[in-house]
Amino acid sequence: MPFFGWIAPGAEPPPQWDLRQHGWHLCHGNDGCRADCHHVLVCDTRGLSSNDQLALAEADRPAWRLIMIGVEKPSLRAKLLNMGCAEALPALTGGPELLARVRRVNDMFGMLPRWRHVGNLTLDLFHRDARRGAKWLGLHPREFGVLWRLTDKPGELVSRQQLLKDVWRLNHEPETNSVEVHISRLRSKLASAGASEIVETSTDGGYRLSDDAPFMFAKDPPEGDALDGYLRAIGWTCDAPDQPTSCAANLSNTVS
């Protein structure tokens, strides 16, 4: 069930860019916000200046979700692509070409399990960090590595030796308590996000993800992210329609 988002002053895409005609579902975000949208966002930028188009792409970094339509200058399209924008297209782009480009970008999202969701947290493999809404926890790479490893199979016990092998890349026991120190620091940062109980220590030794940390979106709406803030700043509100369709409501996998 592929999803796409639509970003423009109007709530509905015009027929030539409406991917619902090809079996896609239009997502209006989680309560109107895009923080938890991990799919392509088709954006009509025809009313924006070159500087505003650049600022829009910058606000979405490093998510790389934007399919920006209405970028007429080839030099600007190249600059946007170099910034990491998923696509930058002129306004004359037709439906078949848009569909092909959106499919390509959507397939790229599936090549690597970039995002995982644990309770009200989002783990981002590209950032190697976790966040709640717009707040990043500031995890050390090995703290993130431990958390990501535990999410491979929630509830499964992972021994200290296995963490040393998978996260530290060590096949021997170091003469330090590095694992315990990183677990302690990780728990402290998780506590700042209201998730202190996610990582459990087993009485048999080792660690696991708590059974009370389901992989789903939080019930509370996300705080929003830089993209949401930018859209509000230019007057493209994040208010959800009366009956929104959200990819969050259909997410049941551990990886988006």
Least confident of 98-112, 127-141, 151-165, 210-224: 210-224
pLDDT of residue 152: 86
User: Cα separation of 191 and 206, whole Å?
Assistant: 20
Give the residues across from 4 on adjacent strands.
26, 40
Please name each of the domains of the chain with its CATH number: 3-112+224-250 (3.40.50), 120-209 (1.10.10.10)
Helix (H, G, I), strand (E, B) or coil at 162: helix
Least confident of 150-154, 168-172, 243-247: 243-247
Helix (H, G, I), strand (E, B) or coil at 146: helix
Query: Which is higher by pLDDT, 36 or 19?
Result: 19
Q: How confident is the model at residue 202 (pLDDT cuts 50, 70, 90)?
A: confident
Rounded average pLDDT over 176-192: 91
Query: Which is higher by pLDDT, 253 or 204?
Result: 204
User: Cα separation of 103 and 239, whole Å?
Assistant: 27
pLDDT of residue 241: 57
Cis peptide before 62 (omega within 30 of 0): yes
pLDDT of residue 245: 62
pLDDT per position as a tens digit, 205-250: 899 988 655 443 334 445 557 888 888 888 886 655 555 566 654 5
pLDDT of residue 195: 83
Query: Which is higher by pLDDT, 153 or 112?
Result: 153
Residues 217, 223 contacting (CB under 8 angstroms): no
β-bridge pairing 66-69 and 87-89: parallel
Query: Which is higher by pLDDT, 196 or 68?
Result: 68
Residues 240, 29 contacting (CB under 8 angstroms): yes
DSSP state of 213: -
User: Cα separation of 147 and 195, whole Å?
Assistant: 12
CB contact set of 204 (below 8 Å; sequence gap of 6+): 157
Cα–Cα nearest to 130, from 116, 142, 151: 116
Neighbours of 244 (CB within 10 A): 16
Helix (H, G, I), strand (E, B) or coil at 23: coil
For 20, 160, 163, 186, 254, the CA distances from 183, given in Å and listed in that order, are: 45, 11, 11, 5, 22
pLDDT of residue 215: 41
pLDDT of residue 223: 54
pLDDT per position as a tens digit, 65-76: 899 999 999 999
Neighbours of 198 (CB within 10 A): 25
* Cα 81 to the center of its chain, rounded Å: 19
Site of tokens 């700042």:
192
